[in-house]
Structure 1
């Protein structure tokens, strides 16, 4: 059951909440509720934190370190909207971490979630919603995270975070610039985990150029 206060804090109408959380059951039938707006908001928070953690583990800085030009971080003063996480069933650590991450982008927690939901709400039922609750949440999170003012964005094709990347920063730069670089990973990694169109010559990998 959706808590009205959560929808109000997010600035959503009843029709927008319904579009985000339900799927049509057929003519004349009430829509089936797949997820709640609380689950949607919680998944957005967790998606941002996962994005931030992934960047840091890859030594690419955090979310607040890769802002687009012209976007300035918030002042050090606490700008969190008190009570924003009520009803979202987040851990205290998640609440604090999310406030820190969005403050680095010049946002409060609630304005960040509202901004992230805006393109999802705009597309509404035009997004070809899945009838699976987990897929619905992941689709919303994928679209919503891309609103963040970042020069780096996550995709569904990233190198597995649990596996060390075979190339150094220098080697990765060289291969993107068109050089052949000796591949030090496994054959399986080359074939299944190195995304894009690649060729191998004498043990060296080269990014396919059109």
Structure 2
């Protein structure tokens, strides 16, 4: 049965692959990214795409209006978009920290808050985090803002699962290890990851549709490597 899926961060990497996987299976997709061109170039009839910046408060009304007018209901929200900063801690300004948190934490919280009224049992909110945000995992210099922001959404997910437990909506977070994407190349130039963006997207695709039968309020480590 066709579902309504919202995915952020769809211009490249995992998000770009996810849109195509859902569309191929006949699901309706709203693909959100600051750069909507790569998705529009695919010309998929199941997919709607418009420019959306998680850091811009005015953008959220566009999403709300689209759902109200076209869908009425959302089955899956995948908070995949993320901003990266690789800089020595001594050089990270308050503004730098704020920029990363605005996308990776505040944006995730706000989009989830906007979409939730359109979700009913058994809808699923999946947030993409990182192994760098997992307590006790290996940490890397330069990623203080990024990794701490990824830790924040893990706790946020646990809290939302508790707050909405009567609703039948599930909230889970996937802490990804190294995946061969443009973002990984920016963080660790030259590092070769054991998993491609498509392979990881296939796992997330399946988890988004079925994981809520087994998990709620859980953080799953999806990693076979360090980092």
Q: TM-score, normalised by structure 2?
A: 0.23
Higher strand share: 2
TM-score norm. by structure 1 comes to 0.25
Indicate the structure (1 or 2) with the bigger Cα radius of gyration: 1
